[in-house]
Structure 1
């Protein structure tokens, strides 16, 4: 690898030298593969897996490096091996289709006795990735400040970076994103004259849609790149819309004022478990009497959340530093213990997210030449493809879900 690649991707450029761990990984992976309807093919002609000749193919190009990475750290090494090119998809195999059977069996691939040793091998979240006010800004910069132009190459024209809500098989991504935004605004009761707070501005689409309803919008973000483009988009929406929106570069813990409606789309995933009480209590404290909250949250089953809450994986290392997905039960417990709020409506959209991610990945692949021209290298390409396909598989199997949650004070609901 070039010096530039080694400097930018040290975890990918250097193969672990751990022969014993590599042998152990090989011993565990072979019987695990026999449970999955895929084919793992090796350069010497060996084939593992329970799949037939037409099953998705995982082509192991560099077996020694592949098993070394898996043995060093299974949760991170599998993705790093794809980034490094140690394995890839076979001819005619889509990456998400290959990952889906694994995601569908994720809880049972490792033998139960070995699962009990998770605490001995799982890495904890690095201290510098904790979501303090300073840590959150650093974590957000590492993802959302990559480049507005990068995100524009695969998102729809509204620049909405969250699950859409499709009304039909033929509906466009933009129309489905507009339906999703309307669903959030309807849950929060946003209309003419509503004082609305948005936690996490994104690139401004939801704020614009709320202002078009006649709401007075305060939207906050800690992403400099997103804020700059959002302000341009507010101006482009016209003076009437722009006059109804105030954008502030502040953390949610620095909010001021009282609001009739509070909305936040796929932001809780970046809050961090230790700060959930502060996050929800802040919403509670700034919600006016009779007000409503609508949050779109990516979730996982409670038993999976409990099993993984203290571990550090590939997604956290390369995509969302400091991230943690809650379970619906974890949200309910936090609300009950730290707020006067309760969930009063739930709208699950998990399969819609699988389709959203597939459309993003298709656009990313189609526009790779332009992304590459922005300075993103082939390792980044494989990282981003793996991220989008990995998430698509999770939502397609139901391992992950995304839900629009309405919250109110029970005594005021109605």
Structure 2
């Protein structure tokens, strides 16, 4: 019922959005003599703010057709390397001549960036991908919006996620390097363990975890505490809703993206209110830089996708309530996931000192859980003065975190090539 009411509210606001769009055009028209007056700027800002708060944000574009590499523009093309109804593995193919001009290697290490399936699209990692493109052959998991997947395609749960990761790693070929950002940590670690136990020829050469809840019992955050304080039945009763018409996934039970968005925004309510106050002020003042910065962030942040009921509830149960992987109790298709089987996959963990989603210690727990990886194949790093988002995006990521990961990957690319 909540999903239907949400859609009803959105559609009911359509006439008001249309009116706001007309007002915005009127008060921004160069033919309007009052456009640049205080009244005109305030009216324009009011219409712009209303429209931005009530419109539907679709799946963002990657906008990485050209990437700057040390001042040299490198063109890229997106290729689909593997697909299922639930995910596409995208490859950012770099133009050879541009790569040569930038002084980079054509035969670069393959890196699979596993994007989180936790309410936002993979484009949230645009800055992450852009940094890696300079020195790597980059692949990214592009997860589907559950409301767009017809019921005939069946279920998608935590164990299907593990299978998808394994299949995508194999599809990339060779021994690629896997980088898991936030949520994917536990299933990616499980997938690597299973491939290691099989001595799979495409098992990763290295695995890097960034702000991931490998062991959510450590340094619990507000998010962790909510998952532990509420009984499992509460999540099933309050967080799961049915996809309404006219979406292709009509009838599918999902954890809606808008519920996740409201939950995240409520954690920092004052911050978001202040941001929109500044946005209104920048619109009135005609501060193009401030307006552009705000719109760039919120166009991405407000674009959300739905998760299947089974994947969301199993993640709550396995990762945040029972901590099965961290306790050595996780089974996949009836087979125990044994992290001690990982012996020749290098391990890097990256955390943010001020992370309020995955507290310090949750990600680096992977080192304790994988006792048979040699010390020479480990990297443990905590970035000072950054929160969750800063672990994989922004200036600190580009200048301090990415260089460490780049060198770590290069080192273990060389080692895997020798074996």
Does TM, scored on the shorter chain, surpass 0.5?
no
Normalising by the residue count of structure 2, what TM-score does the alignment of the two structures yield? 0.26
Normalising by the residue count of structure 1, what TM-score does the alignment of the two structures yield? 0.27
